[in-house]
Structure 1
Amino acid sequence: MKLALLCPDLVDAPHGGIPTVSRQILRQLERIAAERRVPLDFDVWALHDAHHDGRDVAREVGLKRAPQRFRSFGGSRLGMLAAAARERSNADLVFTTHIGLGPVARLLRPRHAPIVQFLHGVECWRPLPVRQRVGLWGSNLLISNSGFTLDRFHEWNPAFRGTPSRVCWLGLSRDRDSLTPVSDSLTPNPSPSRERGEGERGGDAPALSALIVGRIHPEERYKGHAELISIWPQVRRQCPGARLDIVGDGAARPDYEAQARRLGLLESGAVRFWGRIPDEELRALYQRTTVFAMPSRGEGFGLVYLEAMAAGVPCIGSLDDAAREVIVHGETGLSVRYGDQEGLARAILQLFTDAPLRDRLGRAARARVLASFTEDHFGARIWDALAELHPRAFREGAA
């Protein structure tokens, strides 16, 4: 069995959502193939990566064996298309982890090899351009990270309702190793924005805090940063020491900092902007926070919910995107309508003021991750979908 995997990035952007999924797919297919005695080789094509030796790729991704071939194109889509046009792969299956690579898959695949394409979210919640429609027409299976993503894709692109599809919920990536406890102290930093907050000095009880993690780009204003900052004065009136921690960076950050400054929240430390921080610090921050809140309307899945849940933190998400498939309202967290600022404030205050409730939700959240949302669970879902599509190639002991 040979699989050609086409991805935007694999090695050079390890923490983005799409490269994280690409890495998990490779690791998990290798793991399950070994367990089931299915001979499996990979060719990997990465659009944006620089050149890397196959052994380096294996080490960075966490593979036992190097891919048979690793092709990288430094961001040249035309170069990737030209390479696919010059050669015909001998793979049994071609798998793209972004629908923008569909045209490459159609050029590369052998005549009878199926094409599988992964749907992530916002990239497919619009009428697709001709190039991507052409790439999708040859697909034998669409795998979506959530039912929400698949439904939105079909709403905007009804012509593809007849293409076989499968929902494969994501799993908590081993790249972040978020199920392993870490020290309770963050890396020291002299910046005032990272000093310990009210109620954390001299052995006092930790301050109540909410955390949001995600890119802060103008095109991703739907994540809920502005809404959280807007309600924070109301939250502070009932919980005076409460703090909002914002992790992530992007071009929209100055706007949110200005919003917090106008409300008197920035200089007081009531809202702290951390920027991008190392994984170890992020894991520690998850474990120290009281609540994770990302009341978005545009999450195709939301791996950050799993990271918080793995740390035993109850989450607040939106009813208007895929968060509702991850967070079970009243069981592992709370859900609100996007834009309902009063409802958002009530949810945060409920968890801030009811310790038994948030402890119960936090324990259930971690249990839900362990039961359904590890990387191994994701791998099993992917394997089952591919084996159903191409049973001969994935048969145990297949040559």
Structure 2
Amino acid sequence: MSLYTFGLTGGIEKVCQTLAKALSNLTEENSGLKFKHFSMYDTSAQINPLYLEPKYFKGFGGNKLFFMLASIWKGLQSDTIILSHINLLIIVPFIKFLSPKTKIILYAHGIEIWDSLPLWKREILQNDLEIWAVSNFTANKIALTHQISKTHIKILNNAIDPYFHWPKYFEKPAQLLKRFKLDANQPILYTLTRLNGAEGYKGYDRVLAALPPLIKKFPQLIYIIAGKADEMEIERLSQYIKSYGIDQNVKIIGFINESEKVDYYQLADVFIMPSSMEGFGIVFIEAAACGVQTIGGNKDGSTDALLNGELGKLISPDNIVEIELAIEHCLNQKVEPQQIQAKCRKHFSFENYQSQITQHLHLILKKT
């Protein structure tokens, strides 16, 4: 069950799509399994058939009461229920009261579950379900914050989307070089994230602060910041960039089409996002899947995405000098993109993700 799966384009929605694809695959491969995906806010017409066939999906178009009643009824007929968001916990008491043996799993992503919760939600987390956390950081934070036994928490790292294009060749795309009037030998930094002043934890401000001394060493350095942005944040960043005198070295390009996502990763020499409150960070593994060096923060779920420093460089996200030195190090070293991609594929491929889900479900059903 989800709030949205296809109607929004955020990180949680992408995880829901990948999870739905894995569960539908398992159902197709095993005639003994039955699977149905309910979405509170999507309509049935919004389904993407690449991830789910219509027979597996029902959208309720925001009809909360109908969704609640249908979810409880379907839940009572099911052995296992997976909730993709903590805001769906409201159905748990009803199902557990009527069917105590039903197994319930909550997918825990990040910030939505880190903060304090009402008593009734904490009691459900502590007693009535198993939690699948996308990172060790999220698992540890919710165990501490909500006094949850770690025996109730499993780690299920996010994965590369099953339809992500893993590049075979590693060259900067000519069309993007031409579009932005760049040279193939120019050092390029890249961040892909939502630009929202209210969040403030993605770290691009601190990358901008690290640029002036770097530009003295790499005069042609370009920093590209991509992602949907609100006007106030763009205005704030523009003033920030002007104050540092780095107008010619920074490009804020806004939303990019999914069809060009891989091209933008390949345009970069370094992908960097020194965030401090990331539940996992799918963009890190997407960059690595494209053979790009990555830099992330060492205080959040980025550590899982970067395999504790094996897949990319971890730095203190608040330390501008560390950010500067990490960028300089990456720009000066020679890397084999194929090796970065191979390590990423080994740990974060969709096939590996689906295998882990199979193992987790087998263990929970074994307890029934």
TM norm structure 2: 0.89
Counterpart CA distance in 2 for 1:390 and 1:179 is 38
Amino acid in the other structure paired with 1:10 = T
Tell me which of 112, 123, 127 is aligned to 2:116: 127
1:224 maps to what in 2?
Answer: 203
Amino acid in the other structure paired with 1:30 = S
2:149 maps to what in 1?
Answer: 161
2:60 maps to what in 1?
Answer: 72
The structure carrying a bigger helix percent of its residues is 2
Counterpart CA distance in 1 for 2:191 and 2:72 is 44
Counterpart CA distance in 1 for 2:56 and 2:260 is 36
1:30 equivalent in alignment to 2:24: yes
1:16 equivalent in alignment to 2:10: yes
After superposition, the Cα gap between the structure-2 partners of 1:181 and 1:70, relative to the gap in structure 1 and judged at 3 Å, is farther
Over the aligned positions, Cα root-mean-square deviation in angstroms equals 2.7
Equivalent residues in 2 for 1:1-399, closer than 5 Å: 6-13=1-8, 15-35=9-29, 37-49=30-42, 51-53=43-45, 57=47, 59=49, 61-63=50-52, 65-68=53-56, 70-74=58-62, 77=64, 80-81=67-68, 83-84=70-71, 89-108=76-95, 111=99, 112-130=101-119, 132-133=121-122, 135-136=124-125, 139-158=128-147, 160-161=148-149, 164-179=152-167, 184-186=173-175, 195-197=180-182, 200=183, 205-251=184-230, 252-266=233-247, 268=248, 270-328=249-307, 331-354=310-333, 356=334, 359-360=335-336, 362-391=337-366
Q: How many residues align?
A: 363
Amino acid in the other structure paired with 1:346 = L
Give deviations 1:183-202, integer Å, cap 9, x for gaps.
8234699xxxx6223xx1xx
Report how far residue 282 of structure 1 moved.
Answer: 2.1
After superposition, the Cα gap between the structure-2 partners of 1:281 and 1:206, relative to the gap in structure 1 and judged at 3 Å, is farther
Counterpart CA distance in 1 for 2:297 and 2:34 is 40
Amino acid in the other structure paired with 2:67 = M
Counterpart CA distance in 2 for 1:300 and 1:86 is 32
Is the Cα contact below 8 Å between 2:113 and 2:142 reproduced in 1?
yes
Report how far residue 290 of structure 1 moved.
Answer: 0.3
TM norm structure 1: 0.83
Q: Which runs of 5+ in 2 are unaligned?
A: none
- Find the residue that maps to 1:42 and give its secondary structure: coil
1:3 maps to what in 2?
Answer: none
After superposition, the Cα gap between the structure-2 partners of 1:259 and 1:137, relative to the gap in structure 1 and judged at 3 Å, is same
Counterpart CA distance in 1 for 2:93 and 2:168 is 41
Is the Cα contact below 8 Å between 1:101 and 1:135 reproduced in 2?
no
Report how far residue 137 of structure 1 moved.
Answer: 5.1
Report how far residue 91 of structure 1 moved.
Answer: 1.6
After superposition, the Cα gap between the structure-2 partners of 1:366 and 1:162, relative to the gap in structure 1 and judged at 3 Å, is closer
Report how far residue 131 of structure 1 moved.
Answer: 5.5
- Find the residue that maps to 2:128 and give its secondary structure: coil
Counterpart CA distance in 2 for 1:58 and 1:211 is 29
- Find the residue that maps to 2:271 and give its secondary structure: strand
The percent identity for this pair of structures is 21
Query: Which range moves more in the overlay, 330-339 or 284-293?
Result: 330-339
Report how far residue 181 of structure 1 moved.
Answer: 5.8
Counterpart CA distance in 1 for 2:281 and 2:33 is 30
Amino acid in the other structure paired with 1:378 = Y
After superposition, the Cα gap between the structure-2 partners of 1:88 and 1:233, relative to the gap in structure 1 and judged at 3 Å, is closer
After superposition, the Cα gap between the structure-2 partners of 1:98 and 1:178, relative to the gap in structure 1 and judged at 3 Å, is farther
Q: Structure 1 segments of 4 or more deviating over 6 A? A: none
Q: Which runs of 5+ in 1 are unaligned?
A: 1-5, 394-399
Counterpart CA distance in 2 for 1:329 and 1:7 is 30
Is the Cα contact below 8 Å between 2:270 and 2:294 reproduced in 1?
yes
Report how far residue 274 of structure 1 moved.
Answer: 1.2
Report how far residue 57 of structure 1 moved.
Answer: 2.7
